[in-house]
Amino acid sequence: MAGHSDSSSSEKKSSEAMNDVPTFSTENMQNNMKVIYYSRTFMSIIGGVIAGILGFTGFMGFIFYFLVMAITSIGLIAKAKFSVHLYFDSWNRIILDGFMGGLMSFVLFWTFAYDIVHIF
């Protein structure tokens, strides 16, 4: 198992017996997931700072977070030139991945910016 995972870089997941199962290159898939992760993390931090500056409290802040994540998802889909199946194997990856992790960063920077701007 360990030897299987760190062999050649362009390792393909395929089952030669059936042609129905789609094959894809895992290295490129990992690269795409990394791009999504970086984009979402950065945007959740920026969203947190904006929410803190604007003074959102309570539920409004979380609504703002979902708004920022929706805009980021639309941006990522546009970056994938609207043909998501070329770069990912399912829609869930580009829409939902990194959502919950970003929420923690968002809340952290939201409270941080709010404290600095409104409470000092």
Which residues here bind another protein, judged by CB under 8 A?
Answer: 7-10, 12, 23-25, 28-29, 31-32, 34-35, 38-39, 42-43, 46, 49-50, 52-57, 71-72, 75-76, 78-80, 86-89, 113, 116-120
Minimum distance from residue 99 beta carbon to another protein (Å): 15
Cα(29)–Cα(9) distance, rounded to whole angstroms? 12
Minimum distance from residue 102 beta carbon to another protein (Å): 11
Residues 6+ away with beta carbon under 8 Å from 74 = none
Which of 49/95 has CB closer to another protein?
Answer: 49
Minimum distance from residue 49 beta carbon to another protein (Å): 6
Q: Do you know the residue count of the chain? A: 120
Cα(15)–Cα(25) distance, rounded to whole angstroms? 13
Phi and psi dihedrals of 12, rounded to 5?
-110, 145
